[in-house]
Amino acid sequence: MNNKAEDPNLWNDAQEAQKLMRERQQLDEGINGVKAIEQQLKDNIELIELGEEEGDASIVKEAEDALKAVRTEAARKQVEAMLSGEADGNDTYLEVHSGAGGTESQDWANMLLRMYTRWAERSGYKVELLEIHDGEEAGIKSATLLVKGHNAYGWLKTESGVHRLVRISPYDSNARRHTSFSSIWVYPVIDDSINIEINESDCRIDTYRSSGAGGQHVNTTDSAVRITHIPSGIVVACQQERSQHKNRAKAWDMLRARLYEAELKKREEAANAEAASKSDIGWGHQIRSYVLQPYQLVKDLRTGVESTAPSDVLDGELNEFMEAALAHRVNGGADAVTDDLN
């Protein structure tokens, strides 16, 4: 690939050149990541030996703590190596939808939107807000994020499903405990190499005024676009751009991506009926509970992974849940990676 990249004729085909450069960068990052782990392992083992020779317990402890971090990174790399699905390496769309319950669920949907935005930013991904529909009093009814970066879809795909929140409601004057539901839907961005044919006569296109925070164009023109694919019932919307034309183009891209994701699900179910399938992501199936009162606990109902620090989870610390869900999905057990490392 390095030799190809040095070929002066490479950029005669800009699309092919960009594809080559992306793939080379991904391989380079993967190789360097493994080399870094190997070097850190070697350095810290030497530090432990040195500390033991000199009787310096502080050096030994520091090196042991560093090795724990190396072990965590190695486990993440091992899970990442499982991201070999057809679209795992792609950018991804992530939709948040509030459930029944009015202001409570709309506030919960807004908390989830923040959680995934924080996770993506911490993970080095670029995040764009494509569409948002505000709630009447607080929170949001729905929103769509575009998360850009290598393996964005691969990491986020297991987050599709219903998320349940239990807390003392800040909107209840009697301070009663409420249960709220919101759903997450994740589907990959597709490139020009994947051909998805859509009959425009099967679609209804609506335009409306943008809502939420934004520039001067917000609520002044009907620039936002919503497309409904009638045969499948899939609905997508975009209000990010000032231009209705640009929002329409992005909405078509999103619709193609949704239809492609639906096809991937069909293939997955056909290939392995025992693996995670559509039942894991349906509106009526919870995948994770977030309990803030009367105790503090986040529990993934598929893998059994728990956290007693929900504030950290809601601030974007999701890797433990994602890694376990991916291992469970690929290996048939949430503890597969941990067992192998042990």
Tell me the mean pLDDT per 10 residues along the chain, length 342.
Answer: 87 83 83 93 95 93 94 84 81 92 90 97 94 89 93 92 91 81 91 76 88 51 87 89 88 89 73 40 70 94 95 95 86 44 38
pLDDT at 24: 86
Beta strand 126-134 with 203-208 is: unpaired
pLDDT at 49: 95
Domain range 92-288, CATH class: alpha beta
Closest C-alpha to 111, from 322, 234, 290: 290
Sequence length of the chain is: 342
pLDDT at 332: 54
In terms of C-beta density within 10 A (0-12 exposed, 13-18 middle, 19 or more buried), how is residue 264 classed?
Answer: middle
pLDDT at 217: 44
pLDDT at 71: 92
pLDDT at 280: 35
Helices 319-331, 57-80: axis angle to 10 degrees equals: 50
Cβ neighbours of residue 130 closer than 8 Å, sequence gap 6 or more: 93, 144, 145, 146, 237, 238, 239, 240, 250, 254
Cα separation of 268 and 265, whole Å? 5
Distance of CA 73 to the CA centre of its chain: 19
